[in-house]
Structures are given as C-alpha cells and as structure tokens.
Amino acid sequence: MAEHVPVLLEECIEMLNIRPDGIYLDGTLGLGGHSAAIAARLAGGRLIGIDRDETALQRAGERLKPWKEHVTLVHSSFGKLDAVLEDLGIPAVDGMLFDLGVSSPQLDEAERGFSYRMDAPLDMRMDRTQSLTARDVVNRYDEAELSRILFQYGEERYARRIAAAIVRRRAEKEIGTTGELAELIRAAMPAPALREKQHPAKRSFQAIRIEVNGELREVEQMMASAPGHLKPGGRLCVITFHSLEDRIVKQGINRCEHGCTCPREAPVCTCGFVQTLKNLTGKPILPTPEEQAANPRARSAKLRAAERVSI
C-alpha cells in the first residue's frame, strides 16, 4: 500500500485558522492525515472525524491515538452532517474540512474494485455495508442510463459507444471484474482516444464510482448544511478533484455570499437574503509544483475556503 500523503495539508491548516480550544470536523477522515495535523494543534478542543468506510475509521483511529482524548470518530457520511452533529449535541463548530478524493487504500487495495489498473471484483463501495455495487450498475442499468452516467459524471464524450459495448457484452456474459470492464472500454474507444495521455477507462470508472456512492448528492447536501453549523468566524475548507465537485462547492459558496435575487437597480434588498459565508480564496488554491511532483495524486486537487460571517 502506498504511503498516505494528505493533499494540500499546509494550506488547509492555514485556512482553518485553528484555535487550540476549538471544535473541528473532518468530514472525510480517510487515513487521518489532515485530522492528525488538526488534533496536534488542539489543547482542550475537540475533533470529530467522519467516514463511511469502516476500514478507514479503524486505521485513522490508530493514527489518532496520541490525541484520543480530543477525538470522536463517527461511522457515517458527510452528507449526513446535520444528523451527526445533532446526535453529538454539537450545534456549531469552529471549522470543517472535506477532502473529496478517493483515499489511497481504496485505490491501492485491488479487492475494493476502484482501480482500472488492477483486476478485481467490480465493487467501488466506500461503505461496504451498502447494497449497490459497481457490478449492479454495469450489469443492471439500461443503455440510456449508463450513457447518461458516463457522460454526466465522467464527462466521457464516447459515453454512448461505451454504454452500447457494455450492453452487448453483458448479453453474452455478466461483467464481473474491473479488468473486464477496463478492457471493454478500451476496445470501444476510437483510435485517437487511445492516444490520449490518461487511461481510456479513467473517466468511466470515475462516473460509475460517483453513481455507486452518490458522491455528488453528498456534496450538495454538505454544502447546503455546513454553513449553518459554523460558528461566526468559523472556516469551511473543501478539497475537490474534478470539475463536477468543484462546481457544486463554488456555487454553494457563491449562493451564501451573493445569493440576493433582487434586481441590481433595487435600492434595498427585499428578497430576504442574508449572507452567511465570505469567500476566502477567490480562485481555488492549487498544489505547488513541489507537491505535485512528490504526490502525483494531488495534481487535480483544488482547495476552496470560506468563513462564516456574523449575522
């Protein structure tokens, strides 16, 4: 398993502006790299770590043992932020961090079925207690729905060709492994697409993973609820890895900062809009060339941050 390297770590810590006695939430705990850096800066404060992958929770728990008196781990998804904080009796926190990337173990452990580079059962579940798997999506969804998912979530311009190839193949035999699917996608691609730098199955695998885990819906739910759970001056930091997530985060911050729907010429606001967030980053923060060289998985990362304003 590759060494876990938290993405944009220094930038996240700077943006969170951590207070030693504050309450912070890491909504995508993973292996706890970001959380360890937060916990190390607490003295009397509290860290809440959320992840829907039980394996990640166990491993992060080991990493966070030096600060266990400050740490609470929760098996849930960040889209259920309202319920998690309600159950803990915490109405608001001083900072939240969400790293929306797939963790290294999920990519590197073949049996999880996330990687198009290793042959394994089609799975892709972040929470292995849920029922829907990548195998279900690939073998049960009709051609039109498969094409929609590949185009919408993977931004795959050959979505129709790939969906048609999947349907033809599964009519003969159910598609059961990542290797089968990756090779099928490659065969469906026209020659020019095969000369692209990235793997031909990358976009399709991303799309299927998003569908299996409901990732975009989770991001939308998080952006709708997170601002209301920040204390005045509290910070929200979100790391995204593809344009669909980044668009949701960007638009969510913008709605909280500039959501007034009154005509520009109106002398006063009458729509009832109340600003809740102030954008701290403008354009997203990107990894430095040094970080990208040291950790290739950081190359597509973007960090956006905002601060809760007093009402």
- Gap between the Cα atoms of 160 and 158, Å rounded: 6
Q: In what order do the strands lie in the sheet with 230-240?
A: 71-75, 46-51, 23-26, 93-99, 230-240, 302-308, 277-279
Instruction: Evaluate if residue 141 carries a pLDDT over 70.
Output: yes
pLDDT at 1 over 70: no
The tokens describing 200, both together, are 């031909």
> Torsion angle of alpha carbons 273, 279, 282, 288, nearest 10°?
-150
pLDDT > 90? residue 265: no
CB distance 138 to 122 below 8 Å: yes
Query: How much of the chain is in helix, strand and coil states, percent to nearest 5?
Result: 50, 15, 35
Tokens of 102: 């797939």
Higher pLDDT: 204 or 270? It is 204
Eight-class DSSP state of 115: -
3-class state of residue 72 by DSSP = strand
Residue pointed to by tokens 């939308």: 220
Query: pTM of the full predicted structure?
Result: 0.92
Note the pLDDT of residue 101.
Answer: 86
* Residue 109: φ, ψ to 5°: -90, 105
Provide the pLDDT confidence category of residue 111 given band limits of 50, 70 and 90. confident
Q: Are 213 and 125 in contact (CB under 8 A)?
A: yes
Span 165-188, pLDDT tens digits: 999 999 999 999 999 999 999 999
pLDDT at 4: 66
**What is residue 110's predicted lDDT score, i.e. its pLDDT?**
77
pLDDT tens per residue, range 30-85: 999 999 999 999 999 999 999 999 989 999 999 999 999 999 999 999 999 999 99
φ, ψ for residue 28, nearest 5 deg: -135, 75
4: how many CB neighbours lie within 10 A of its CB?
17
**Phi, psi torsion values for 40, nearest 5 degrees:** -65, -20
